[in-house]
Chain A
């Protein structure tokens, strides 16, 4: 690659998130200070105005979530960043974005929980909250980078997915990924694929704001551009007005659920490391995947055929790949910085086709490769 030195940066995860978001076209940020995500707000406050974008420090987390939805309806790509307690507060308005199919990105730099928990220590305790945090049936996209470079790229992906599928997208960092510094090569803008929301092609009088095209996604008109219509958090019909018609209700819920499901193939991102001949597969994501990558090397040095499936997309869950893998390996080990959340999904998908065990740590410390390796050795000896 012929990159000038200017493009090579030593960035913190949070800073990489800012750079990715700006390149993806994010022009609105609303947020509230919270550790360990505050550097994202600080970066946005500095850079957005230079690009003509808007930064607003809101009075709380709930307002921040509301504001990014409002700005997205006004046509700006919008992002907010938070951590556990703030993520909890955002859930109601996250549901509003889901039911109204509003593109926006929520970054959750995970810290230990519940409650105030461990503000300065990493955790992966919000995986299920990302999936089911807001009430009612719905779908969601959630991505989890494990390096600073991936933070950069997955932030761009998150923005693109949100625009393409008209949905909120959650980017799950953890305190380590958020604060660690690594090399990132910033590409030129023309090297990045940017996706913008589909706009209506019909005149305003024919526009049905919630009528999906063939691809399952309804075109979205921004407010102030000649299309007058209605958003409501109530279950609504394709015109956008509240409905109590059972058929319309059923259709609406299935639509917001299925539009992600039917596009899951294009959304589920993962990396396969040494899986081709593996008998043991590690399933890992976020900062734990870094340790897992090392474990693969250490285990293979001992002749244990181990591989890693690194999940970049958490939701929708990469069912197909895991299901395939379950036919090949004898054991799946799911190390997580929680008491076993994604392992439940793995068990569900594997359906007993191979053994699934978890390795968990919730003491605010990273999982190190040696302890995972030890777990593998124990299992082999059993």
Chain B
């Protein structure tokens, strides 16, 4: 069968390695559909990932792809973007990859407002290594390294990205697939650092440990925990505890790093050599 997805994937790599019901494939589909809408040339697109289940995403798409080291996708992408500013550079990370080992790179790319689109597939757990809790695992939830319940506070990646200086910040879930596609599309089109967090499903690790066992249960759970900012307003503090706001949080125009660097180049050329 000939379809949109097949024009963008490395078909020989399929079926992919992800578990039944894993959200990674859903996010991959959303990214591809957003790119197809934008009619971008595949030769001008780079996708960079780190380590973890989600990072295998780069092996499956027919772009210029890099599966890098754990947490470091953003700095690899930074070098590539500076070398090839006219390429569209998309960074795909998991929650542990982006917010734990790669947390510093994430906030600094936002601070620089570098023209990258960061898509974080947040399944709230380290899946590939067997279900350890991550900085995005909600408090009280179970991980294999939090058998008595997680006592850590979790990050709010949206607030983190906004505080650090990103230009565009949004969140959705793999259940809210049409919204995910449209947010990713907006993020891809944005100049500056754009962030889309997609809350994803991991039935095998997160689901099994937290009694949301099947892929279908996980999808229903996502449907249940995600609320619009409007609906959030009407929730009591207790009701808010297990909920997440989805939608667009920030969309501002400000000078991006590549534009600023172009200005710097002009300034440097004018100045006499010391």
Contact = CB atoms under 8 A, between A and B. Distances in A.
A and B touch in the complex (CB under 8 A): yes
Contacts of A63: 72, 74-75, 78, 104-105, 108
A67 B68 contact: no
Interface string A223-239: 11111111111100000
Counting chain A CB atoms within 10 Å of each CB, the highest count among B68, B75, B81, B87 belongs to B75
A78 B76 CA distance: 12
Nearest to A78: B79
Counting chain A CB atoms within 10 Å of each CB, the highest count among B78, B83, B274 belongs to B83
Nearest to B269: A50
A70 B44 contact: no
Contact of B108 (A59, A74, A223): A59
A66 B68 contact: yes
A355 B43 CA distance: 60
B104 A223 contact: no
Contacts of B105: 59, 63
Contacts of B274: 46
B62 interface: yes
A69 to B, nearest CB: 6
A54 B76 contact: no
B269 A59 contact: no
B53 to A, nearest CB: 14
Nearest to B64: A223
A190 B265 CA distance: 25
Given A59-B104, A70-B76, A228 B67 contact: no
B64 A69 contact: no
Nearest to B257: A56
Interface in B241-274: 261, 264-265, 267-269, 271, 273-274
Contacts of A230: 58-59, 65-67
A272 B101 CA distance: 48
Contact of B79 (A50, A59, A71, A241): A71
B114 to A, nearest CB: 9
Given A233-B68, A241-B59, A224 B86 contact: yes
Given A30-B79, A63-B108, A223-B87, A241 B13 contact: yes
B226 to A, nearest CB: 32
B42 A66 contact: no
Nearest to B60: A230
Nearest to B72: A66
Interface in B197-233: none
Contact of A49 (B13, B42, B268): B268
Contact of A56 (B13, B64, B82): B82
B59 A70 contact: no
A96 interface: yes
Given A54-B82, A74-B87, A233 B67 contact: yes
B156 to A, nearest CB: 21
Contacts of A165: none
Interface in A209-250: 222-234, 241-242
A256 interface: no
Contacts of A14: none
Given A49-B265, A73-B66, A58 B13 contact: no
A70 B271 CA distance: 29
B59 A232 contact: yes
B69 interface: yes
A93 B101 CA distance: 14
B66 A70 contact: yes
B64 A228 contact: yes
A228 B82 contact: no
B64 A50 contact: no
Contacts of B104: 59-60, 63
Nearest to A242: B59
Interface in B4-45: 13, 42-44
A62 interface: yes
Contacts of B78: 30, 56, 58, 63, 66-67, 70
Contacts of A226: 43
B76 A67 contact: yes
A224 B69 contact: no
B79 A70 contact: yes
Nearest to B101: A62
A371 to B, nearest CB: 41
A50 B273 contact: yes
B72 A62 contact: yes
B46 interface: yes
Interface string A36-70: 00000000001001101010101110111011111
Given A63-B78, A73-B80, A74-B87, 16 more contacts: A28-B79, A50-B269, A62-B75, A66-B78, A68-B79, A70-B78, A70-B80, A71-B82, A74-B80, A74-B81, A75-B84, A223-B80, A228-B64, A229-B64, A230-B59, A242-B59
18 contacts: A30-B79, A49-B269, A50-B271, A50-B273, A58-B78, A58-B108, A59-B75, A59-B105, A63-B105, A68-B79, A75-B84, A78-B83, A92-B69, A96-B68, A223-B64, A224-B64, A230-B58, A230-B65
Top 3 nearest A-B pairs by Cβ distance? A74-B83, A70-B79, A49-B268
